[in-house]
Amino acid sequence: MKKNWSRRGFLEAAGTVVAAGAVAGASTANAAEEAPRGKIKIVGVCCSPRKGKTTAAAMQICLDAAKAVSPEVEVELIELAGLKIPGGVAAGVPLEPGEKDDFPALAEKLGSPAVAGIVVGTPVYFGNMSSLCKALIDRCMTFRKNNFGLSNKVGGVLAVGAARNGGQELTTQSVLAALLCQEMIVVGDGKPTAHIGGTLINDGKDSISGDEFGTATAKNLGRRVAEVALLVKRPK
């Protein structure tokens, strides 16, 4: 059944007025219902405040594995580093005069019917997600309030910490819980690692390349997100 996604309501709920021309691709329904036949898109959102560092590297590995699943799969990495996502807007706190808000443009991308899967990557900060990641999750309240615009998109999570047992699993589970609340179809890293998502270790020199197991979880996560996204789009 087609969902009644109101573009105007979405933009209002996102908390920022956006010029009409800038939102030509506004979502009208969820990916499973209206994705055009042919290509699907998997978007990776990197929630590290440090651009191009270990979380971004892990996300790239994950997305490359997603792309390798099928020529139908397109991928895009979005780094939140440098973007402004005021979390308080989700709770009705207005923007300060002149305060920047990059969330509406991001939300337009995430809500697009072409996006069949979303991978969230975050560094581990004190055993949990980064504040940037939490702000993103809180702002996604707008999807819940507007007919669950992320419904049936496939969701996966990876976390990069500096320590073994530094909180990667707890962090991953925290983000997965938020994706469940969006009626997303959440998956973990696929076999043979097959646990709750990507769990990687920064070697202390801002590299994950020596973390064989962790990079395998990132790859298996990307593959699993793409495989399930294709299944959702074209049920057998």
Ligand X SMILES: Cc1cc2nc3c(=O)[nH]c(=O)nc-3n(C[C@H](O)[C@H](O)[C@H](O)COP(=O)(O)O)c2cc1C
Q: Give the HSE-up count for residue 17: Cα atoms under 13 Å, Cβ half-sphere.
A: 1
Among 124, 129, 135, 228, binds ligand X (CB under 6 A): 124
Q: Which is nearer to ligand X, 50 or 67 (CB)?
A: 50
User: Mask 159-188, x = binds ligand X (CB under 6 A)?
Assistant: -xxxx--xx---------------------
CB of 79 to ligand X, least distance (A): 9
CB of 137 to ligand X, least distance (A): 17
Question: DSSP states of 140-158 as a string?
Answer: THHHHHTT-TTTT-EEEEE
User: Mask 132-161, x = binds ligand X (CB under 6 A)?
Assistant: ----------------------------xx
Q: Which is nearer to ligand X, 76 or 206 (CB)?
A: 206
The owner of tokens 């890293």 is 189
CB of 7 to ligand X, least distance (A): 34
Among 30, 142, 202, 215, binds ligand X (CB under 6 A): 202
Residue 170 identity: L
Task: Indicate whether 206 belongs to the interface with ligand X (CB under 6 A).
Answer: yes
Q: Are residues 128 and 167 in contact, defined by beta-carbon separation less than 8 angstroms?
A: yes
**Cα 159 to chain center, whole Å?**
12
Q: Which residue is nearest to ligand X (CB)?
A: 166
Could you count the other beta carbons within 10 Å of the beta carbon of residue 21?
6
* Contacts (CB under 6 A) with ligand X, residues 46-85: 48, 50, 53-55
Q: Are residues 198 and 218 in contact, defined by beta-carbon separation less than 8 angstroms?
A: yes
Q: Of 197, 103, 123, 119, give the one whose Cα is nearest residue 153.
A: 119
d(CA 140, CA 55): 21
CB of 202 to ligand X, least distance (A): 3
Q: Which is nearer to ligand X, 68 or 81 (CB)?
A: 81
d(CA 124, CA 101): 24
Q: Which stretch binds ligand X (CB under 6 A): 123-131, 174-182, 184-192, 219-227?
A: 123-131
Helix (H) or strand (E) segment spanning residue 137: helix 131-139
CB of 157 to ligand X, least distance (A): 14
CB of 46 to ligand X, least distance (A): 7
Q: Of 26, 36, 50, 188, give the one whose Cα is nearest residue 107.
A: 26
d(CA 194, CA 190): 5
Residues binding ligand X (CB under 6 A)? 48, 50, 53-55, 123-127, 160-163, 166-167, 202, 206
